[in-house]
Structure 1
């Protein structure tokens, strides 16, 4: 190998990478602490970017109808152009806050009433438990005799309970302080992220132009073009996924409301809204709504709670196998099978966040892989009959 300037730089770069890799493997704890520190610093900006991305989906729809320029007007109305983005952002925030307020207004009062009914039913439950214990004692006298002969050191039990309460009070105080500090830190981080998201939405076109200028300034044109193409595909896929997920949640909520109203289940509107909200978590989120809904109905009528669970299982099968893969899968361009795989893998690795991220991420990877495979097959001049099953190698 000729040792010119370019090759020398490559060798030095490989050596430097090897040294850094060796140091990182020897100091994994320090490296993890450093990355955790960086993530903590960047948390408000990451949260702001996520908020801006989510709000950008309804913002684009609203912006098409707010203060649109008159195509028949010959003079450009600059005041409309200046007010169009701020007015659209305000309307988007009002729409999101309004939807959340309506959902909470429908769900929280009914849950409060259900908990109040549960509190009132506790004395009756205790009496039933006492009658049940008495009946068992009559039917099985050996158990009653064993309880009578059971010797308990009540002083020791009292001292143990007192020590547990004293230690628990101190731990509870420390836990309360740490939880309060964490809540304050989380609220402050979210507030900074929210402010940052507003700035991103106000100047998103300018930021996009600046990022493109940086790419073309420091990378070859082919690399910059490919990077912009992948980012555009990712933006389109994630936006379509959010739209499809919200559409699927609305469809599922309306389906639950129609069936529950038809069979006269109690709290049909509240439970339907709860199922629609929790259905924003892909595939498995509606089970949370099912658990809360079954608990609420159980307090009123246990038999109806059983039939509600049966109804939920049937509707969940329809939604999981027909509605969700077609609505969300079509919106992101991902086949139904890979939607289920993405949800399963994402949920097992990153929980709820993984479910939300892995579907559009797998869609982007699926599209890139499909383009690469198609291009390589075209370069190698492979006949379509070979993968369509119309011609086998033995027949050639």
Structure 2
């Protein structure tokens, strides 16, 4: 009898394990199908994501105007125009000072190349001008041999720029419509969904919206910290174009990894051609120090508090997103992880045990 009982328990456990494994396999298949569908629709999904992120950034002033009695269309139009003006001002703040210093920067680049040639000609390299000329001729010959691949690369680059322009225009239009009609979305969604979905999905959507806003604000704060500390370091060293470099650092902070590398490269290059190798190395050390503090201390702490995620989860999410989808994966990894956490927390709330206080007996009249 005990052996039969144990056999029945083993069979039941195996059936439960098989059912759980089948459910897990079904979830994995559905997730893979969803990712494949998103990949096929990426030309629409990516502008939608960018538009949502821009909307979280511009919704507070729109909400302020709407609470003051402005019509939704007028408030959305004004905020959209102001956003475009601010973006154009940021571009001008970077481009105009750089253009005004272009002559000195060009002379500095030429002088830097000449110093590099003089350094290469001395010990221990002892590279003469004839060797440099020969190497240059070899590079030109290889470039001529690879004209076809170069043309392909140029065409791909032009296509990427064109797709970026289309994505930006679509994202701006979507941002305007989100600002104008966003508050109508949840009531409309509630009317479209059947049964209990009309209750659960709007709640998860509202929490997800709040989480996206927290992500954008925390990213902006991290970029501001980078811009302040790196700009202060450049000012102390005496590097020109401090303000444009600080603005570039702030803007590039919204593109993880590649943005920081690009802004750091530009700052080191300007320090090299204007102040020399020693100051360029000092600037490089400042940028590496600030980026390490930002990536390992500031960003995980700020985003973990704002998004409800542990700092280790933020680091792992950025690493996984970058390995799976490059720059776009790094940009979307943290908000996607936060949205998954929002959905999981709500599901856990719904599936959790009921309030224990409701099960307690009513106190007696004497008590």
Q: Same fold (TM over 0.5)?
A: yes
> What is aligned with 1:54?
53
TM-superposed CA distance for 1:241, in Å, is 0.2
Q: Map residues 269-280 of structure 1 onto 2, 5 A cutoff.
A: 269-280=243-254
> What is aligned with 2:92?
101
Q: Please say if 1:358 is aligned against 2:333.
A: yes
The 8 Å contact of residues 234 and 360 in structure 1, kept in 2 or not, is answered as no
> What is aligned with 1:257?
231
> What is aligned with 2:75?
84
The 8 Å contact of residues 257 and 268 in structure 1, kept in 2 or not, is answered as yes
Q: Map residues 1-396 of structure 1 onto 2, 5 A cutoff.
A: 38-39=40-41, 43=43, 45-66=44-65, 69=68, 83-106=74-97, 113-132=104-123, 168-169=146-147, 172-173=150-151, 176=154, 179-180=157-158, 183-184=161-162, 187-188=165-166, 190-216=168-194, 221-282=195-256, 285-299=259-273, 300-370=275-345, 372=347, 378=353
* Post-superposition CA distance 1:151-190 (Å, at most 9, x none): xxx9xxx9x9999676544554565556545644654465
The 8 Å contact of residues 269 and 280 in structure 2, kept in 1 or not, is answered as yes
SS of equivalent residue, structure 1 residue 317: helix
The 8 Å contact of residues 55 and 92 in structure 1, kept in 2 or not, is answered as no
Provide the C-alpha distance between the structure 1 equivalents of 2:169 and 2:139, rounded to a whole number of angstroms: 43
Number of residue-to-residue matches in the alignment: 318
Using a 3 Å threshold, how does the CA distance of structure 1 residues 182 and 337 change in structure 2: closer, same or farther? closer
Larger gyration radius, structure 1 or structure 2 = 1
Structure 1: 5+ residue runs without aligned partners? 1-17, 22-27, 71-78, 138-146, 148-153, 382-396
TM-superposed CA distance for 1:274, in Å, is 2.7
Provide the C-alpha distance between the structure 2 equivalents of 1:84 and 1:231, rounded to a whole number of angstroms: 23
SS of equivalent residue, structure 1 residue 66: helix
Using a 3 Å threshold, how does the CA distance of structure 1 residues 343 and 109 change in structure 2: closer, same or farther? farther
The 8 Å contact of residues 120 and 126 in structure 2, kept in 1 or not, is answered as no
Provide the C-alpha distance between the structure 2 equivalents of 1:121 and 1:187, rounded to a whole number of angstroms: 35
SS of equivalent residue, structure 2 residue 193: helix
TM-superposed CA distance for 1:249, in Å, is 0.4
TM-superposed CA distance for 1:247, in Å, is 1.3
Query: What is the TM-score of this pair, normalised by structure 2?
Result: 0.69
